[in-house]
Chains A and B, each alone.
Chain A
Amino acid sequence: MAERSPVPEVPRAFTGVVAGLALAGAMYVGATSLRGLPAIGPLLDPARGIWAVSRAAELPAVQVVALQGLGGTVEVRYDDRGVPHIFGASETDAYRALGWVHARDRLFQMELTQRAVAGTLTEFVGARALPLDREARRQGLAVAAEAKWAALDRDAPVRAFVAAYMDGVNAYVRAMRPNELPIEYRLLGRKPRTFQPQDTYYLLARMSLTLAWQDSELQRGAVESLVGAAATAALFPVNAPIQEPIEPVAGRQAPRYTHAEIPAPQRLDAKSLAEARRWMETRALFAAEPQLTRGEAVVGSNNWAVAPGRTTGGHALLSGDPHLQLTLPSIWYEAHMVVPGVLDVYGVTLPLAPLVPIGFNRDVAWTATNTGADVLDFYLETVDDTTAPARYRVDGAWRELESSVATYEDPTGAVLATDTLYRTHRGPMVRSPIGYVSMRWTALELSDEGTAFHDASLATSAAEWYEAMANYRAPAQNFLVADRGGHIGIRSTGRYPLRPGDGRGDKVFDGSLSASDWTGDWPLSQYPTSMDPAQGYLASANQQPVDPAVRPGYLGWDWPSPWRAIRINGILRADAAMTPEKMRLAHTDPRSALTDAILPPVRDAVAAARRRGVLQPSDSAAMAFLDRWDGRFDIESRGAVLFDQLNSALTRRTWDEFVIPGEDRRVATPGSSMLVRLLQDGSSSWWDDGSTAEVRETRDDILLLALRDAWTTARTRFGNDPEAWRWGKARRMNIHHLLRLPGFGRESLSVQSGPGTLSPSESGGTHGASWRFVVELGEELTASGTYPGGQSGNPVSTRYADRVPEWQRGALSPLRTPRSAADLPDSATSSRLTLRPAP
C-alpha cells in the first residue's frame, strides 16, 4: 500500500501559490508609498514606526549626552512644568544646549517654520503646499534672511551664538534614536533636514510676515473702487477717531473722540466693480492668507506696567499678553539660561532662535505688542515687455530687472512648477491684474534683530534695555519694560520709513519716479516713547501710538479700535493699589467698552419703534434680554450670546457696500469705532440697504433689523430657550495642530473672551493669548505665566497640551528661577540632562 501524503499534491501547490500571492501582496503593500503617504510596513513597525513615539513621549529622569563643541559641562534641569533651566559656563555653551533642547521638544515645528519661509514646503508635504510656497518666494523673505546672515560681522558675538545654537540642533538630529523622530515625520514619511545658522533669520522673517505684513493699500484700492475716495478716506483714516494713545497725554483722563463727517458712498458701476476685483486679485498674489495686522483685527495683544507708587508691594509690575494664532505645539517655548556673571534670562523663546523676545532677567522685564505701523509700500512699475520683462523705467531711464527662476519640487524631486521672480531696487515685483507691482518692506532690508535681543537680555535697567534695542528694526513692536529700580517705559521700536510728499504710505506709488522712494527713516528720538509717566502706568493694545493732536506724523493708518486700551487704562486709572493677582485677573477681564457704545443706540431704536407702533413682541423680548445682561463676557453669560449676534448682524447690515455683488465677503470692514461714529448720525446714507431700492433705511431701522436678525439667529443656533444659552458654548477656541492634523489639536474650548475685551475672540476661535505673564520686580523678582499648549511637541506626551486647562481658566503658574542647578529642589525637578563635551 502506497504511503499517503498528508496533503494532496494539487492542493499543496495551490496552497503554496495562494500563500505566495498573499505574502507578495502583503510585502508590496507594506513597502509601497501611495499618494505621498508612507508605506504601512515602516509606518506600523512597532520599533520604528508611529508607535515608537510613545517611548519618547516623556523626558528621561536622567540623561547624559556627549555634545561636540562644548567648552564645559552644561547642566540642564527640567522643572515640574517641563521648563529647561540651562546652566553653562559660557553663553556659547548655553545657546548650544538650548539648540539641543529645542530640537528634542520641537524639531518638526522648527523644520516647518524654516520651510514655510524658504518656500520649500512642497518638498516636504507635496503639491498641496504649492500656493504657499509660491507666495513665500514672491515675498522674498528667504532672500532677505540669507542676506542678513551674510551681512553679519564675522566677529559678531551673535554669529557665534547662533552658530552654536544650530550646532546643538544638528547634534540632536544626528544622535536621535529611531523612536525620537517626531510623529509628523513618520506620518509624512520624511527625515529631518540639516539646519543652517541662517535659519534663525528665517524665523525672524516669519515673525515679520505675521506681524508686519501691511498690504492694506491693495485692499484700499478695492475699497476706493467700491465706495469712492472720500468715503474711503473717512472710514479708513490715518488717525483713529477715538484717541487713547500708547504715549500718554499729560493730564488726560479719558479718550479723546473726534467726529469727522463720513461722506456718502459713490454709485457703483460695472467699471468700479471690475476694478475692485482686480485689486483683490492683486492682493491675493502677494498673500493668499492675509496676516493679522490690520484694521479691525480680531486678535490683539496687550501689555501694561505699573510704577511702584501705584502697587501694594511698592515694586514695579509688568504684564504681557501677546495674542497670535494659536497652534499646537505652541509658537512659544519657555526656557531659562544661566551663565554665572554674564547671563540669567528667563522667558519665551521661539524654536529656531537662541533669543528671548519676551521675558525677564534678574533686573528687567520686557514684553511687546504689535505696533502695526505702515512699513511696506507698493509701486506700480513700468516695464519694457509685459510678457517677459527685462527692464523697468525710473525717471525716464531703463534699469535692469534682477530675475531668477524658482523651482518647486515634490518629495521625490519631481518638478511641480517654476516661476520667474523679479526684483527692482525696491524689492520683489510680481505681475498682477493692475500691472507689474513691486514692494519695499522693512522686513526685507538689512538689520540685526539677533544682536539687539541678545544685548537687551543682558540689560540691568530699563534705560539699558532700550539702548540695546536702538538698532532693532522689524517687526516694529511696542516694547514695554520695567526694572527693579522702579522704572517703567514703553517705546514703539522699529524702522519707520520717511516718505515723500505728504509722508503717507496708504496708497500705491508710481514706480516710474524715484521721487516715490523712501527718503530715510524716523530718528530714534521721534519714536513713540514714554518713560516713568506721571500717571504711574503705561499700556498698549495695538492702538495708534501717539495722539496726532499732540504730535503729528504718519506712522500708519486704519488703526484697530482702542476698546482694549480704554479698558486697560480704565482699570489702571481706577486702582492705585495694583497687585500681581489683579494684573492676572485683567488678562481675562470680561468687560468690553464696545458694548457700552453699541447698546444705548439699540435701546433708543427699540423705544422709537415702540412709539411708532412697529415693535414686534420678539423685539421687546430681545431688548429685555439684553437689558438684563450685566455686560460681562464670561462663559456662563447668556446675554453675551445675543450681543455677539447683534454686533455681527449690525456690522453685516451696515457695511453691505463693501461686498462685491455675487460674492459673500466684504473686501474690507471699517473698524467698530467707525460704526460707533456712524451711530451718531441717524440719517446717514450708509444706513440705507442697497438691496431694497424702494426703501431708504435709517439707523433705527438697521438697528431694529439687526436685533431681529440676532434674536432669530441665536434661537436657531443655540435653541429657543435663551435661558439655556451659554457664551462658553457659543464662542469656542480652537487650537489646531500646525498641519491641522485631526486628533492633534485641542478644539471647542470655552474661554472668557469676547469682542472688545482684553481677550478678544472671533468666530473661528483660532487666535488668542499666546502667552500671559506677570512679573513683580522686587528685591527678588517673582513671575507667573502660562501659554495654551505645552513644552513638548510630541502629541503623545503628557506635556503636549498640559497647560491648556490652566490657560482656559485664566490661571498662571509660578515661574521658577533657580540661580544654579542645585537651587532647583528635587521635588520640582522632572528631568536631569547633563551635556558633556564630546572628546
Chain B
Amino acid sequence: MTARKFLFAEFAAATAAMATATWFVAWWAVPIVAAAWAALRPGDRTLPLMAAVAGTFSWLILLLLPSSPGAVARVADVAGAAMGTGSGPLLALTLAFPALLAASAASLAKAFVSRRASVSRAS
C-alpha cells in the first residue's frame, strides 16, 4: 500500500470512528477519537487539520446517510429560522463544531504525547 493510500485509509477509518462514536455515544466522543488518533501519530504535523476534516465529514455523513438531503434542508430551514441563525449558518456551525472539537483535541494530544516523549528521551 502506498503512503498516500495508507493515509487515506487512516483518514477514512478515523472519520468512520468519529461517526460511529457520535452515533452510539454522543457529540463529545469526537474529541476522544481525535485525541486517540493523534496519540498514535504524534509526529504528524498535519494531523490536527486531518482530524478537523474527519470531524466535519463524520457529522456530514450522519446528517445525510439516514435521511434525505431534502429532509436535512427542511430541518435547516425550520431550525435556522427558529434559532434566528438562518439555515446556512446553522449548517455551517453544525459542521464546524466537530472540526473544532477534533482539531483542538488532536493538537492537545499531539503536544502532550510529544512532550512526554521528549521528557522520556531527556531522562
Contacts A16-B112, A23-B105, A30-B97 given; does A47 touch B62 at CB 8 Å? yes
Residue of B nearest to A25 (CB): B104
* Chain B positions within 8 Å of A9 at CB level: 118
Contacts A46-B22, A51-B94 given; does A743 touch B80 at CB 8 Å? yes
Please report the C-alpha to C-alpha distance between residue A49 and residue B98 in the assembled complex, in whole angstroms: 14
Which stretch from A36-44, A127-135, A808-816 is at the chain B interface?
A: A36-44
* Chain B positions within 8 Å of A42 at CB level: 26-27
B99 → A minimal CB distance (Å): 10
Contact B71 A19 (CB under 8 A): no
Contact B104 A54 (CB under 8 A): no
10 pairs, A vs B, C-beta closer than 8 Å: A13-B111, A16-B111, A23-B31, A23-B108, A40-B97, A41-B27, A46-B63, A47-B23, A47-B26, A743-B77
Contact A54 B72 (CB under 8 A): yes
B80 → A minimal CB distance (Å): 7
B82 within 8 A of A: yes
A585 within 8 A of B: no
B100 within 8 A of A: yes
Contact B115 A44 (CB under 8 A): no
Contact B104 A26 (CB under 8 A): yes
A251 within 8 A of B: no
Scan residues 68-123 of chain B and give those whose CB is less than 8 A from a CB of chain A: 68, 71-72, 74-75, 77-84, 93-94, 97, 100-101, 103-108, 111-112, 114-115, 118
Q: CB within 8 A of A57: which of B62, B74, B79?
A: B74
Please report the C-alpha to C-alpha distance between residue A6 and residue B115 in the assembled complex, in whole angstroms: 12
Q: CB within 8 A of A55: which of B27, B66, B74, B114?
A: B66
Please report the C-alpha to C-alpha distance between residue A6 and residue B41 in the assembled complex, in whole angstroms: 13
Q: CB within 8 A of B114: which of A7, A31, A45, A50?
A: A7
A6 → B minimal CB distance (Å): 6
Residue of A nearest to B72 (CB): A54
Residue of A nearest to B77 (CB): A743
B59 within 8 A of A: yes
Contacts A13-B111, A741-B82 given; does A30 touch B101 at CB 8 Å? yes
* Residue among B48, B72, B82, B107 having the largest count of chain A Cβ atoms under 10 Å: B82
A404 within 8 A of B: no
B2 within 8 A of A: no
* Chain A positions within 8 Å of B66 at CB level: 55
* Chain A positions within 8 Å of B74 at CB level: 54, 57, 795-796
Please report the C-alpha to C-alpha distance between residue A218 and residue B49 in the assembled complex, in whole angstroms: 69
Contact A54 B75 (CB under 8 A): yes
Residue of A nearest to B91 (CB): A51
A386 within 8 A of B: no
Contact B78 A796 (CB under 8 A): yes
* Chain B positions within 8 Å of A40 at CB level: 93, 97
A66 within 8 A of B: no
Q: CB within 8 A of A12: which of B71, B101, B103, B114?
A: B114
Contact A23 B104 (CB under 8 A): yes
B1 → A minimal CB distance (Å): 24
Chain B interface residues (CB < 8 Å from chain A): 22-23, 26-28, 31, 43, 45, 48, 59, 62-63, 66-68, 71-72, 74-75, 77-84, 93-94, 97, 100-101, 103-108, 111-112, 114-115, 118
Contact B82 A743 (CB under 8 A): yes
Please report the C-alpha to C-alpha distance between residue A796 and residue B77 in the assembled complex, in whole angstroms: 9
Contact B28 A30 (CB under 8 A): yes
Q: CB within 8 A of A27: which of B28, B78, B93?
A: B28
Contact A6 B22 (CB under 8 A): no
* Chain B positions within 8 Å of A27 at CB level: 28, 31, 101
Contact A26 B107 (CB under 8 A): no
Please report the C-alpha to C-alpha distance between residue A183 and residue B101 in the assembled complex, in whole angstroms: 25
* Chain A positions within 8 Å of B62 at CB level: 46-47, 51
Instruction: Identify 14 new A-B residue pairs, CB closer than 8 A, beyond the known A7-B45, A23-B108, A51-B63.
Output: A16-B107, A16-B115, A26-B97, A41-B97, A45-B26, A46-B62, A47-B23, A47-B62, A183-B75, A187-B82, A742-B82, A744-B78, A744-B81, A744-B82
Residue of A nearest to B80 (CB): A743
Please report the C-alpha to C-alpha distance between residue A40 and residue B26 in the assembled complex, in whole angstroms: 12
Contact A30 B112 (CB under 8 A): no
Q: CB within 8 A of B28: which of A13, A41, A55, A183?
A: A41
Residue of B nearest to A184 (CB): B82
Please report the C-alpha to C-alpha distance between residue A23 and residue B98 in the assembled complex, in whole angstroms: 11
Q: Chain B: interface secondary structure?
A: helix
Q: CB within 8 A of B67: which of A26, A55, A795?
A: A55
B69 → A minimal CB distance (Å): 10
Give the 10 A-B residue pairs with the shortest CB-CB distance, closest first.
A743-B81, A16-B111, A19-B107, A54-B71, A46-B62, A23-B104, A22-B104, A19-B108, A45-B27, A54-B67
Contact A30 B43 (CB under 8 A): no
Please report the C-alpha to C-alpha distance between residue A16 and residue B114 in the assembled complex, in whole angstroms: 10
* Chain B positions within 8 Å of A48 at CB level: 26
Contact A26 B81 (CB under 8 A): no
* Chain B positions within 8 Å of A6 at CB level: 43, 45
* Chain B positions within 8 Å of A187 at CB level: 79, 82-83
Contact A30 B78 (CB under 8 A): no
* Residue among A5, A13, A46, A53 having the largest count of chain B Cβ atoms under 10 Å: A46
Contact B75 A45 (CB under 8 A): no
Please report the C-alpha to C-alpha distance between residue A26 and residue B96 in the assembled complex, in whole angstroms: 11
Q: CB within 8 A of A22: which of B72, B78, B94, B100?
A: B100
* Residue among A40, A48, A54, A795 having the largest count of chain B Cβ atoms under 10 Å: A54
Please report the C-alpha to C-alpha distance between residue A53 and residue B22 in the assembled complex, in whole angstroms: 16
Residue of B nearest to A18 (CB): B107
B63 → A minimal CB distance (Å): 5
Contacts A20-B108, A26-B100 given; does A183 touch B114 at CB 8 Å? no
Contact A50 B26 (CB under 8 A): no
A15 within 8 A of B: yes
* Chain B positions within 8 Å of A49 at CB level: 27
B16 → A minimal CB distance (Å): 14
A588 → B minimal CB distance (Å): 29
Please report the C-alpha to C-alpha distance between residue A728 and residue B77 in the assembled complex, in whole angstroms: 26
Residue of A nearest to B76 (CB): A51
Residue of B nearest to A11 (CB): B111
A33 → B minimal CB distance (Å): 14
Please report the C-alpha to C-alpha distance between residue A44 and residue B71 in the assembled complex, in whole angstroms: 16
* Chain B positions within 8 Å of A742 at CB level: 81-82, 84
* Chain A positions within 8 Å of B79 at CB level: 50, 183, 187, 743
* Chain A positions within 8 Å of B68 at CB level: 54
Contacts A26-B101, A46-B62 given; does A12 touch B78 at CB 8 Å? no
Scan residues 669-689 of chain A and give those whose CB is less than 8 A from a CB of chain B: none
Residue of B nearest to A737 (CB): B82
Contacts A22-B104, A48-B26 given; does A183 touch B78 at CB 8 Å? yes
B109 → A minimal CB distance (Å): 8
Scan residues 716-762 of chain A and give those whose CB is less than 8 A from a CB of chain B: 741-744
* Chain A positions within 8 Å of B101 at CB level: 23, 26-27, 30
- Report A570-612 CB contacts with B as 1/0, cut-off 8 Å: 0000000000000000000000000000000000000000000
Scan residues 161-194 of chain A and give those whose CB is less than 8 A from a CB of chain B: 183, 187
